[in-house]
Amino acid sequence: MLFAIIFVCNRLSQIVTLTPVVGMLGWLVTVFNNYNALTPDPVLILFIVSLLALTWAVLTLFSYQSSSHNASLVALVDLLFVGAFIGGVFALRGIRHADCDHPTPPTYWTAHVPGVADADIPWGLRKPCAMLKASWAFAIINCLMWPVTAFAAYLHGDREPEAHKHTRVPSESMYEESMVRSRRSGRSRGTGTRTRSRSSRSPQSRRSHGVYA
C-alpha cells in the first residue's frame, strides 16, 4: 500500500512538472517552424522526451490497475526515461550560463544554446530565456522523480501477487474443509441408514430361521 501511494503521488508530480515543459518548449518549436528554421537539437531533444514522458505518465496513472500487474515493464520504461532526461539536461546545459534578468551580450541566451543564433528570428531577451531555464530546471527535477516511480512500481508489483496468494489460500482451504465435512456427513448418514436397515431385518431373519428349523 505504501509503494502504491508513493507511485501515485510521484506520477501526479511528474504530470504537474512536465505539462509546463511541454507547453513552453512547444511554443519555441512553433516559433522555429513559423520562420522555417530548424529547431536546435537541445530544445528538440528535451521537448520530445518531455512529451513522451508526459504521455507515459498519464497512461500509467489512469490505467493503474493494469500497470500494477505489469510492474516490471513500468519500472523498465521509467528507468529509460531517466536516461533520456539526463541526456536532455546535458544537451541544454549551456542555458545555465544565460542571464535572463539583466542580460549582457556575453550572457544572452542565444549565445548559450547551439543553433539559435543561426536562425534569423527576432527573439526577445527575457521570455525565451526564462522558458528554457524553467524547462531545464523541471527536467532536472524529473531526473530525480522517475527513479522513485520505477523503484515503487517494481516493489509494489512484486508484493501484490503474494498478497493475492495469501488472500486466496484461506478461501480455498475453507472450501476444501466444507467439502470434506459434507462428504463425511454423507458417509455417516449412509452408514446410519445401513445399520437401521440391518437392525430392522434381523427379527425377520430370525423368524425365518425359526420356521425353517
- Using one digit for the tens of pLDDT, what is the confidence trace for 127-170? 999 999 999 999 999 999 999 999 998 887 555 444 444 444 45
- Residue 194 belongs to some domain of the structure: no
Question: Cell numbers at residue 110, please?
Answer: 542565444
Alpha carbons within 13 angstroms on the beta-carbon side of residue 170 total 4
- Residue 112 belongs to some domain of the structure: yes
- Residue 197 belongs to some domain of the structure: no
- If one counts the domains in the chain, the total is 1
pLDDT given for residue 77 in this prediction? 95
- Residue 186 belongs to some domain of the structure: no
| Residue 70, H or E segment | none
The torsion defined by the Cα of 95, 100, 102 and 108, in degrees rounded to 10, comes to 50
What's the CA gap between 189 and 187, in Å, rounded? 5
pLDDT tens column, 72-113: 899 999 999 999 999 999 999 999 999 998 888 888 998 889
Cβ proximity of 15 and 58 under 8 Å: yes
pLDDT given for residue 118 in this prediction? 78
What's the CA gap between 202 and 209, in Å, rounded? 10
The torsion defined by the Cα of 34, 38, 43 and 48, in degrees rounded to 10, comes to 90
- Residue 191 belongs to some domain of the structure: no
- Residue 137 belongs to some domain of the structure: yes
- Residue 204 belongs to some domain of the structure: no
| pTM summary value | 0.72
pLDDT tens column, 168-208: 445 555 556 666 566 666 665 555 555 455 555 555 544 44
Calculate mean pLDDT across residues 119-129: 87
Long-range contacts formed by 54-63: CB under 8 A, 24+ apart: 54/14, 54/15, 54/18, 54/19, 54/21, 54/22, 56/81, 57/11, 57/14, 57/15, 57/18, 58/15, 60/11, 61/8, 61/11, 61/12, 61/15
What's the CA gap between 147 and 62, in Å, rounded? 20
Q: How far is CA 61 from CA 15, 45, 58, 160, in A?
A: 10, 24, 5, 17
Question: Cell numbers at residue 159, please?
Answer: 508484493
Q: Could you tell me the residue range of the domain that residue 36 belongs to?
A: 2-169
Burial degree of 22 (CB within 10 A; 0-12, 13-18, 19+): buried
- Residue 46 belongs to some domain of the structure: yes
pLDDT tens column, 35-76: 999 999 999 999 999 999 999 999 999 887 666 678 889 999
Length of the chain, please?
A: 213
Question: Cell numbers at residue 29, please?
Answer: 518549436
